[in-house]
Structure 1
Amino acid sequence: MEGSVRKKGNRWYYSFEIDRDETGKRKRIERAGGKTKKEALEALRNALNNYDNGYVEPKKILLDDYINDWLENFIKENRKITTYQRYKEIYKNSIKPYIGYTSLKDITAIKIEKLLQGEKKKGLSSSSLQGIYGVLNSLFNRAIKLKVLKDNPCKYVDRPKREKFTPNTLTIDEFKKIINTLDKSNNYNDYVMRIALQVILELGLRRGELAGLEWSNIDHNNNCINITNNLVYTNNNVVMSTPKTDESMRTLYVSNNIIQLLKKHKLLQNELKLKYGPNYIENTFNSKKYDFIFTWENGKYIHPNYYTVRFKKILKANDINKNIRFHDLRHTNATLLLEQGIDFKVIQTRLGHSDINTTLNIYSHVNLDMQKKATDKLSNLMK
Structure 2
Amino acid sequence: MIRKRPAKKAKNGYTYQVYFYYRDIFDKRKYYSKSGFLTKKEAQIHETEMKARLKEKGSLNQEANKTFNEVFKEFMETEGDRFALNTIEKKERTFKKYIRNSFGASKITLFSNYAFLQEIFNGFEDKTMSIVRAIKDIIKNVTSFAIKMGYIDNSPISLVTLKVIEKEKKEMNVVPFEVFLKAYNELEDCYAITIAIGYYTGMRIAEILALKKDDIDFENNLISINNQLIYSGRNINDYQVVSKLKTKKSKDFIPLNDQLKDLLIEYLKTHHSKYICQKNNQFYYVSNLDRILKREYDFTFHNLRHTFASTLYENDVDIKTTQELLRHSNVNTTLNVYTHLKETKKLDTINNVFKAKDVKSMPKMKIN
Aligned residues: 329
Instruction: Measure the CA separation in 1 of the matches of 2:47 and 2:33.
Output: 14
Q: Give 1:339-354 correspondences, 5 Å limit.
A: 339-353=314-328, 354=330
Match of 1:29 in 2: 33
TM-score, structure 1 normalization: 0.68
Deviations 1:173-201 (A, max 9, x none): 3333444557xxxxxx44x4443333222
Instruction: Measure the CA separation in 2 of the matches of 1:179 and 1:64.
Output: 45
Instruction: Measure the CA separation in 2 of the matches of 1:85 and 1:356.
Output: 25
Query: CA 1:87–1:5 in structure 2 vs 1: closer, same or farther (change >3 Å)?
Result: same
The alpha carbon displacement at 1:209 in A equals 1.9
Match of 2:95 in 1: 91
Instruction: Measure the CA separation in 1 of the matches of 2:246 and 2:47.
Output: 51
One-letter code aligned to 1:239: Q
Q: Say whether 1:70 aligns with 2:75.
A: yes
One-letter code aligned to 1:90: T
Query: Residue 169 of structure 1 aligns to a residue in which SS?
Result: coil
Instruction: Measure the CA separation in 1 of the matches of 2:43 and 2:67.
Output: 32
Whether the 8 Å CA contact 1:5–1:15 is kept in 2: the answer is: yes
Question: Where does the alignment leave 5 or more consecutive residues of structure 2 unmatched?
Answer: 6-11, 354-368
Match of 1:141 in 2: 144
Query: CA 1:34–1:334 in structure 2 vs 1: closer, same or farther (change >3 Å)?
Result: farther
Instruction: Measure the CA separation in 2 of the matches of 1:26 and 1:359.
Output: 52
Higher mean C-alpha deviation, range 210-219 or range 77-86: 77-86
Deviations 1:36-90 (A, max 9, x none): 99967853541322562x442336222233323434x235555333333322332
Instruction: Measure the CA separation in 2 of the matches of 1:37 and 1:70.
Output: 32
Instruction: Measure the CA separation in 1 of the matches of 2:309 and 2:256.
Output: 15
Query: CA 1:14–1:80 in structure 2 vs 1: closer, same or farther (change >3 Å)?
Result: same
Choose which of 324, 335, 352 in structure 1 pairs with 2:310. Answer: 335
Q: Say whether 1:47 aligns with 2:59.
A: no
Q: Give 1:217-296 correspondences, 5 Å limit.
A: 217-236=215-234, 237-241=238-242, 242-269=244-271, 291-296=274-279
The alpha carbon displacement at 1:255 in A equals 1.4
The alpha carbon displacement at 1:27 in A equals 2.8
Q: Say whether 1:359 aligns with 2:337.
A: yes
Q: Say whether 1:152 aligns with 2:150.
A: no
The alpha carbon displacement at 1:158 in A equals 5.5
Query: CA 1:337–1:93 in structure 2 vs 1: closer, same or farther (change >3 Å)?
Result: same
Query: CA 1:15–1:226 in structure 2 vs 1: closer, same or farther (change >3 Å)?
Result: same
Instruction: Measure the CA separation in 2 of the matches of 1:178 and 1:234.
Output: 25
Whether the 8 Å CA contact 2:114–2:160 is kept in 1: the answer is: yes
Whether the 8 Å CA contact 2:21–2:30 is kept in 1: the answer is: yes
Instruction: Measure the CA separation in 1 of the matches of 2:43 and 2:279.
Output: 78
Question: Where does the alignment leave 5 or more consecutive residues of structure 1 unmatched?
Answer: 183-188, 273-280, 282-290, 316-321, 376-383
Instruction: Measure the CA separation in 2 of the matches of 1:139 and 1:112.
Output: 13
Deviations 1:293-316 (A, max 9, x none): 22345x334443453345457x4x
Deviations 1:181-230 (A, max 9, x none): 57xxxxxx44x444333322211222222211122322345422122322
Q: Percent identity among equivalent residues?
A: 18
Match of 2:358 in 1: none
Whether the 8 Å CA contact 1:232–1:240 is kept in 2: the answer is: yes
Query: Residue 102 of structure 1 aligns to a residue in which SS?
Result: coil
CA RMSD, Structure 1 to Structure 2 (Å): 4.2
Match of 2:21 in 1: 17
Match of 2:359 in 1: none
Whether the 8 Å CA contact 1:338–1:366 is kept in 2: the answer is: no
